[in-house]
Amino acid sequence: METGEKIGFFERLKISIFKFEDYARLAAQKISKAVIYMLILMLVFALCVSAATTYKFSQSLNDLANYISNEIETLQFKDGVLSIVPTNNKDKPIIIENEELPVGKLIIDTSDLEQAKIDEYTEQIKHYTSGIVVLKDKIITKTDMSSITTTMTYKDISQQYKIGEFNKDNIISIITGDGSIKLCMSFFAMTTIYLFIVYFSTVLIDAIFLAILAYITSVIVRVRLKPAAAYNIAVYSLSLPVILNLAYIIANILTGFVIEYFQVVYTAIASIYVVATVLIIRSDVIKKQAELNRIMSEQEKVRQEMERKKQEEKEEAEREKTKKEEQEKEKKEKEQEKKKDKETKREKDSGKSEGEEPA
């Protein structure tokens, strides 16, 4: 049965992590409240991860400025055409491969290329989690969300974002001067929105599978659990895994620390919370049933005692009635005897009177 009990965000967080015995309170509420709780939690998650990512991004801007200054001889954009020429090996493309970077593989080649070479570059970045191919008149990207590449022309980008001409000095000035603050703020905002959408939708989908686990467990242990309650339990069971995931991602971003099979641990913790919660609810149901049986037993004893007293009172009333009837009967008998004695005496007296003769 759904309840309208008001429970604050931090109390929900505390219950979902530390108080299995209070999960029934959360499970009995509306699904919308669980979704709003997870929305707030994932917003905090996205903000924290974005802050760490932006910090790392700001550090990489100086490295990028040094790289452009030392390794790039020409960098110019004009009339929708980009020209990037390295200081050394001017006829060769710039290729950067590092899976630890936001872009797993970066290929920069702004020379006049045939379509076969462009297709070759496109195929290369498909083998990485994410990759970018920077060409003369367009950019090809591949993200970790899809295996399909996306192509955008510089003319479309410049028209959409109102980008004019720029060169090497402009870029260095932007990423090292006051423009770096705006760049970091824009990066933080976009990263927050992206991470929130991705992780919030992922968590809600994970909750569906955990809800199925909760419902199956309830059927096995013979506890009547509504689908809405099962989904609520699943959502709240993800609280600790989400917090641990947040700590892990921040540590990974800042230090490169890696935990192998962390996703397995993430799922295992949530599953343990779900199963443990259902078992505790079953235990509570058994306790309540035992308490109900005890109360019913006491009520039956009281009922029997009342019936016994009522029967005793009835018997006592019957005895009193019988006794009273006997007393009345005895009284009548005595009165009849007295009356009979009086009649007998009167008869004797009248016989004596008749037998006497005058002298």
Whether 341 has a pLDDT exceeding 80, the answer reads no
Between CA 19 and CA 141 the distance in angstroms is 46
Tokens standing for 222? 């013979």
Tokens standing for 132? 């970018």
Tokens standing for 213? 């686990």
At residue 359, the pLDDT reads: 44
At residue 102, the pLDDT reads: 61
The one-character DSSP state at 43 is H
Q: Are the C-beta atoms of residues 271 and 277 closer than 8 Å to each other?
A: no
Average pLDDT, integer, range 235-256: 89
- Nearest CA to 202 out of 45, 23, 70 is that of 45
At residue 159, the pLDDT reads: 82
**Sign of the CA dihedral 284, 285, 290, 295?**
positive
- Which residues are CB-neighbours of 214 under 8 A, at least 6 positions away? 225, 230, 233, 234, 274, 275, 277, 278
Tokens standing for 139? 């950019």
Domain ranges of the chain: 1-62+184-334, 80-164
Q: Are the C-beta atoms of residues 215 and 230 closer than 8 Å to each other?
A: yes
Strand partners, 131: 105, 142
pLDDT tens digit sequence for 193-232: 989 999 999 999 999 999 999 899 888 888 888 888 889 9
Strand partners, 95: 107
Q: What are phi and psi of 352, to 5 degrees?
A: -60, -45
- Tell me, yes or no, if the pTM score tops 0.75: no
Q: Are the C-beta atoms of residues 134 and 110 closer than 8 Å to each other?
A: yes
Mean model confidence pLDDT for the chain: 83
At residue 61, the pLDDT reads: 79
